[in-house]
Structures are given as structure tokens and as C-alpha cells.
Homo-oligomer: A and B are copies of this chain.
Amino acid sequence: MENFTYFNPTVLHFGRNILSSLGSVMKEYGRNVLFVYGRNSVKTTGLYGRIMKILQDADLNVVEYGGIKPNPIISDVDAAARIGRSHKADMILAVGGGSVIDSAKIISITIPVEHPAWDFYTYQAKPKTAIPLISVLTLAATGSEMNPFAVLQNNETGIKSGYRSDLVFPRHSFLDPELTITVPRDYTAFGIADLIAHSMEAWFGAGDTTLIDRFIVAIIHEAMEFGPRLLKNLHDYDLRARIMFAATQALNCLTLQGKVSGDWGVHSIGHCLSYLYDVPHGASLTIVYPAWLRYFKDQIPDRIALLGSALFEKSLTPDDSIKHIEDFFRTIDCPVRLSELSIPGDLHQHIYETMVINKVNGANIKIKERDYSDLIDLFL
């Protein structure tokens, strides 16, 4: 087993009507709140009004920044940080999915500084402090509610990439599965795919921790058992709860213990598709994963066969393992080829260029520039 340090300070509040304690928790952090949210859904679902009432009842002093995009951009972060700074925000409340929480994380370290947020991503600046962040999750997918990661894109440089700092763990995250019941079928499926992909990135990371392998299989089994049932019963609280809990466990650092790191090569490619074509994150992963597995199957045949055999509880070859995983993504109606999205234009060339700019690579299974073209062909 590899040496590791594990730390996760987020307080997770999970269950029905869990927002009843949001106001009292927030009051511990001061009075001035920067309330960050996404585009339409918080308003159409009525959650916006509910949150505002909680903040008023707690006598908190609120400024808002709405309109964070599903593939969030750094300019929103800088704009929100300016508002938070002038409001002397004591805390940030992020209400939404991974895009809103990821943005709020970088806002939390940008408010105390004078430079643009992107300086953190380019390692020109290192954060020393963060405004406390509290999140209310509305989409089961990214695990952002309980991890130190934030993925953002910079439309000026063409880069979409991840950032990690222990300063950006949410202090508290509130997960009421009821709040995810309005998530449409496609995004529910993308969330299920996302949590499976996160588990697989951990599986293919460097480091041999057998108990973590077992946990990873456990999380994917949970998604494979309850995911398809949820897609047939989108209003079922209990199924929403099981998927929401699994998504948090899939990327809250649990599965990275004893690992040098996860692999993240597939995410790195997926981010290029999201950057270029606004492909939903989960969908980008179901498109890229089968291709990535096929491309690297001769390099890591045993690891692929071990995963496939554990997931489907029978002895499978690497090829059969890949086919079963791809077939599962199909059963939950996720795309497994980019062509299914009917995007016009010279996709190969654009994707290739974006992969070069983003220096696409995996932390464990190395992807060289000479691999890019063949890899793209496998998922087009």
C-alpha cells in the first residue's frame, strides 16, 4: 500500500427536510452572505424562494450572483468574487449542482485576493485563506459537495481543468434527495454515469489498495442496481437518496486513500468535449470511457478484466468487460459515441487541437500526443 494523507472536514447533512437547520448553521459564520446559484432551475422549482426565506428568517444580509453555467466559466467566478468582496461576505452559500459549487469554491479563495481567479489554476498564485462555503446540493453527480476539487473553463485560453485545494472543502453541505426529484431523466442518467466514471478513475489510478477496490465496486454496484430503477421512477425519494449518497461517496476522497492519485485521463478528454460543444459532463464521460478502455486494453488487460468481472459477477475478458460497461451506459440512455449528439463540423480536428492546448493526459495511464488521434477515432 502507498503512503497517503486523508482529510475531509465537510459536515454532511443528509435527508428529508434537512434545510431546516441551514439558517442556524449559517449564523455561526457571520451575517453577510454571497448567495451563488445557476440559471433557471432554482427559480422554477421554488427553491430560490425557500432559500431566501431561510436567509431572511436567520436575519442574514444577502447579495446574490445567479447564472452560473452548467459548464462553469472563470469570468463568472471573478464577477461573483467582486460582488462578494464589496459586500464583505462572511460566507458563501452555493445552491445547485457541481458547476455552482465548483464556482463557489474558487470564489471563496478569490474574494480575499486582488488578482484574477485563473492565477490559481496556472499556479501563479497560491491561496492562503478562503471564505467559508456552505452548499445545498440539487444534483447528484459530481461529489463537489464533499471534496476539495473544482473544474472550471477559461474561454480566453481554451483550457478547462481541475483545481485542488484543501481550503475549498465546503464547511457544510446539505443534501436533501427531495431537491433532486425535479432533475430531468437525461441529467439524472448523466449523474449516474458521472458517479460510475469517478469510481473508475479511482480504479485506474496508481496504487494497490484492495479495500478501496472493494469500495469502488460497491459504489458502482449501487449505481448499477438503483440507477436504472430510478430512471423508471424519477419521483421516488428513496431511489434518489441512494443515488445521491453514492455520488457523494464516489468522489469525496474515500476511494483515493492509498492511491498516488486517480487516473483522470478520461475526464481530461471529456472536459475538451464539454468545452467545445457544451456536452454535459456525465455524457462526455460515457462517450470517452469505452474508447479509452479499448485504446489501453493491451496495456492494462488484467485491471480491466478484474473490474468487469467484479462488476458483472462472472469471469470476463478485457473485451467483454468493456462491452458490458458500454452496454450498461446504453441501458441508462447515455451516449457512447459523439456521433449520437449530431454535432456538425470537423470534430476530429477541433477535438485534437483542444486536447493539445489542454495537454490531455492521465496521472497513471499516460496519454501521449501521438495517441490523441486514434483515441478520438474510437469515440467519434
Contact = CB atoms under 8 A, between A and B. Distances in A.
| Number of copies of chain A assembled together | 2
A241 B12 CA distance: 28
Given A211-B246, A245-B258, A18 B3 contact: yes
A1 B238 contact: yes
A219 B211 contact: yes
A11 B253 CA distance: 12
B245 A211 contact: yes
Given A14-B3, A245-B1, A245-B258, A221 B214 contact: yes
Max chain B C-beta neighbours (<10 A), residue from A1, A222, A246: A1
Given A6-B11, A7-B11, A1 B242 contact: yes
A54 interface: no
Interface residues of A, number: 39
A328 interface: no
Nearest to A173: B6
Max chain B C-beta neighbours (<10 A), residue from A14, A226, A246, A258: A14
A63 B136 CA distance: 46
A206 to B, nearest CB: 14
A2 interface: yes
A215 interface: yes
Given A210-B226, A218-B215, A221-B214, A4 B11 contact: no
A4 B9 contact: no
A27 B235 CA distance: 52
Contact of A5 (B6, B7, B14, B225): B14
A257 interface: yes
A309 B225 CA distance: 18
Given A210-B242, A211-B249, A4 B8 contact: no
B14 A258 contact: yes
Contacts of A5: 11-14
Nearest to A11: B7
A15 interface: yes
A254 interface: yes
Interface in A1-42: 1-16, 18
A8 B257 CA distance: 15
A34 to B, nearest CB: 24
Nearest to A222: B211
Interface of A: 1-16, 18, 177, 209-211, 214-215, 217-219, 221-222, 225-226, 238, 241-242, 245-246, 249, 254, 257-258
14 contacts: A1-B241, A1-B242, A3-B15, A3-B16, A5-B11, A6-B11, A6-B12, A209-B245, A211-B219, A211-B245, A211-B246, A214-B222, A245-B257, A254-B254
